């Protein structure tokens, strides 16, 4: 009976100790990378300190997109295994977008430096200083990259056309047919700062057509 009492006391103390263990909340900044289609991975945040974390739980009102720079407060979930080996599983307690991804510049001498494989566009809209794009493509066997490129005119003689952008997709010759839908946010604050009132977005679509849409900034009086 005495031995049973000692055993029960030991487990009670251990349980209380676990209950009293405090969560350690970490605070870091980093960049969001979308690894969907790579194993069992999804979004991974590559922290500035060199570590990688997987946000398994996060505020439902926040949307992660590839290339975002974010501030996160998180708790590591050391007893959870997600099946993705690209980072530590965690719960995001607080997340704030610091900036969206940058676009690249293409001129006559480097126009063909980025691949231009087709995509399907669900929607594109201006959100503050960012252009948000939701798109889809097929694949699953190779890593895909999506860039927003500003196409600079070959001749700088006025009058100049409005800034023109192309969505550049590199499928890396991926022949697989899994279907992926992703969202991207690109920084267009430089256009606003320059006083531009509109810009054009273009993309090669999966149906063989060309996406061509003009976006206008809302000018406040």
Domain topology for 15-99: OB fold (Dihydrolipoamide Acetyltransferase, E2P) (2.40.50)
Residue 77 has pLDDT above 70, yes or no: yes
CATH superfamily, region 104-216 = NigD-like, C-terminal beta sandwich domain (2.60.40.2370)
- Tens digit of pLDDT for each residue in 13-59? 454 454 445 679 999 999 999 988 777 889 999 999 999 999 999 99
Alpha-carbon distance of 169 to 186, in angstroms, equals 14
Question: 54-72: b or e for each residue (b if 16 or more CB lie within 10 Å)?
Answer: bbeebeeeeebbbbbbbeb
pTM here is: 0.80
Concatenate the DSSP letters of all residues of 138-168 into one string: EESSS--EEEEEEE--S--PSSPPPPEEEEE
């Amino acid at each position: 009976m005495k031995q049973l009492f000692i055993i029960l006391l030991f487990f009670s103390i251990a349980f209380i100790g676990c209950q009293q263990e405090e969560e350690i909340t970490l605070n870091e900044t980093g960049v969001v990378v979308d690894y969907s289609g790579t194993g069992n991975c999804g979004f991974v945040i590559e922290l500035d300190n060199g570590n990688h974390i997987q946000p398994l739980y996060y505020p439902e009102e926040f949307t992660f997109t590839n290339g975002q720079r974010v501030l996160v407060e998180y708790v590591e979930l050391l007893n959870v295994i997600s099946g993705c080996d690209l980072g530590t599983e965690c719960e995001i307690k607080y997340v704030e977008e610091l900036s969206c991804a940058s676009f690249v510049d293409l001129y006559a001498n480097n126009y063909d430096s980025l691949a231009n494989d087709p995509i399907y566009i669900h929607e594109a809209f201006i959100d503050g200083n960012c252009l948000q794009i939701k798109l889809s493509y097929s694949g699953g066997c190779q890593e895909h990259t999506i860039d927003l490129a500003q196409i600079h005119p070959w001749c700088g003689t006025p009058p100049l056309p409005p800034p023109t952008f192309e969505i550049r997709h590199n499928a890396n010759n991926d022949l697989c047919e899994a279907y992926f839908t992703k969202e991207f946010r690109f920084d267009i604050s430089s256009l606003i700062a320059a006083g531009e009132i509109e810009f054009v977005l273009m993309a090669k679509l999966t149906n063989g057509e060309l996406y061509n849409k003009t976006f206008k900034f809302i000018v406040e009086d």
